[in-house]
Amino acid sequence: MIKYLLRRLAFGVVLVVVVSTLTFFLVFSGGERVAANILGDSASSADIAALTHKLGADRPLLVQYGEWITKAAHGDLGSAWTTTGSVTEILWRRVPVTLSIVGTAVLMMTAISAVLGITAAVLGGWADRLIQVVSVIGFAVPNFWLGLLLIIVFALDLRWLPATGYVTFASSPAAWITSLVLPVTALVLSGIASASQQMRGAVIDALAQDYVRTLSARGIGPASILYRHALRNAMPAALTVLSVQFIALLGGAAIIERVFAIPGLGELTVRSAIVGDVPVLMGVVLTMIVVVVIVNIVIDIINAWVNPKVRLS
């Protein structure tokens, strides 16, 4: 098992290094263009050259990369180009916001799609058809459009919930929850649509195994077979679904944060992408991959724990 986890960890480290390197060379390649973009249409070429030099973007890319990676290894991701403050500071403010949205969404998605998936797998019939309808809707309705519709109905028309903004948990837990309801709902529908479908498949597969018949033949009841044996064996497949959906939700949050004016990582990415704040973009990409890698390793550990073949290898 140690070997398995080390291999997964190695994959994670390689992924972080390769992706951040590729990203660096892509996003830092257009330093002059970014400088022009920051200064606006009226800037002279001398102004642009001066700003490019000031940002250090006129040096060879390899030199810039060497500097960036050395600092990054010490936890310093440089300074933002278009706002004041260091990139790490900005990221630290943003990460908890995004994680509270995505974390809540993951929990809701897991709970709802597990219930839907298991019900559909066991009952078939109407539950099965419901899940199929939900999955088509969830796939076809873009989360940002759903977000707009939710705002129109629940914030502008019914005035039940705030249309935009984010309140930290520390300042007011109740307001924190109300500020999360609409964004999380908009974000989670597509996740539920696809995860419940896949959980249904995983449970059906587990219930079709030979040992289920043998256990029934020994007098074990359907409840114990479902909850103890089938769900345990459906876990690895469900965990894979979770790790894929987590990545999708992280990406989806970028758009949702924009719709609901939530100051998270996604909103930061969008703004930095439009103005071309390269060090911030670099920091966001790095943070995202590190979060994905950590979540995947946690999922690998859970998987090893439920699956004796992995645990004892």
CA separation for the pair 116, 175 (Å, rounded): 29
Of positions 9, 161, 220, 297, contacts another protein by CB under 8 A = 220
Q: Which is nearer to another protein, 71 or 213 (CB)?
A: 213
107 binds another protein (CB under 8 A): no
Residue 79: strand, helix, or coil? strand
Name the nearest CA neighbour of 134 among 195, 52, 91. 195
252 binds another protein (CB under 8 A): yes
Question: Minimum Å distance from CB 223 to another protein?
Answer: 11
Which residue, chain included where needed, has tokens 């790095």? 286
Question: Minimum Å distance from CB 173 to another protein?
Answer: 28
282 binds another protein (CB under 8 A): yes
Buried b (16+ CB within 10 A) or exposed e, 207-218: beeeebeebeee
Of positions 9, 19, 122, 302, contacts another protein by CB under 8 A = 19
Residue type, 2: I
Stretch binding another protein (CB under 8 A), from 46-54, 65-73, 168-176, 227-235: 227-235
Question: Minimum Å distance from CB 113 to another protein?
Answer: 17
DSSP 127: H
Site for another protein in 122-151 (CB under 8 A): 124-125, 128, 132, 136-137, 139-145, 148-149, 151
Angstrom distances, CA of residue 182 to CA of 137, 161, 170:
18, 8, 20
60 binds another protein (CB under 8 A): no
Q: How many residues bind another protein (CB under 8 A)?
A: 78
Residue 76: strand, helix, or coil? coil
Q: Which is nearer to another protein, 177 or 261 (CB)?
A: 261
21 binds another protein (CB under 8 A): no
83 binds another protein (CB under 8 A): no
71 binds another protein (CB under 8 A): no
CA separation for the pair 162, 23 (Å, rounded): 37
Strand partners, 301: none
189 binds another protein (CB under 8 A): no
178 binds another protein (CB under 8 A): no
In sequence order, which residues have a C-beta less than 8 Å from that of residue 102 and are 6 or more positions away? 187, 246, 249, 250, 253
26 binds another protein (CB under 8 A): yes
214 binds another protein (CB under 8 A): yes
Neighbours of 100 (CB within 10 A): 19
